[in-house]
């Protein structure tokens, strides 16, 4: 669960930084940036879950020997 919080907070920080550095954004630009941040967070979460599954399989294989 903490992985989710960390990814979301990093994405939110990136979104806020982009908004501050980019000046005023239109409503659609803000939505697009939010969607891009959410896509990045979802992609990172999927990667973490895949790695966790792989590590669990390796652990189970080692423990069964």
Q: Which two tokens stand for residue 49?
A: 């879950």
- With tokens 């969607």, the residue in question is 35
CB 37 within 8 A of CB 15: yes
Q: What does the pLDDT look like over 4-26, one tens digit per residue?
A: 666 666 666 666 666 666 666 68
- With tokens 């966790």, the residue in question is 52
pLDDT of residue 21: 60
Q: What does the pLDDT look like over 51-63, one tens digit per residue?
A: 999 999 999 999 9
Single out the residue of 10, 31, 8 nearest to residue 19, CA to CA.
31
């Amino acid at each position: 669960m903490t992985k989710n919080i960390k990814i979301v907070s990093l994405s939110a920080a990136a979104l806020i930084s982009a908004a501050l550095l980019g000046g005023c954004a239109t409503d659609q630009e803000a939505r697009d940036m939010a969607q891009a941040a959410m896509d990045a967070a979802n992609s990172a979460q999927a990667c973490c879950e895949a790695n966790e599954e792989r590590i669990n399989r390796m652990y189970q294989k080692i423990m069964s020997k």
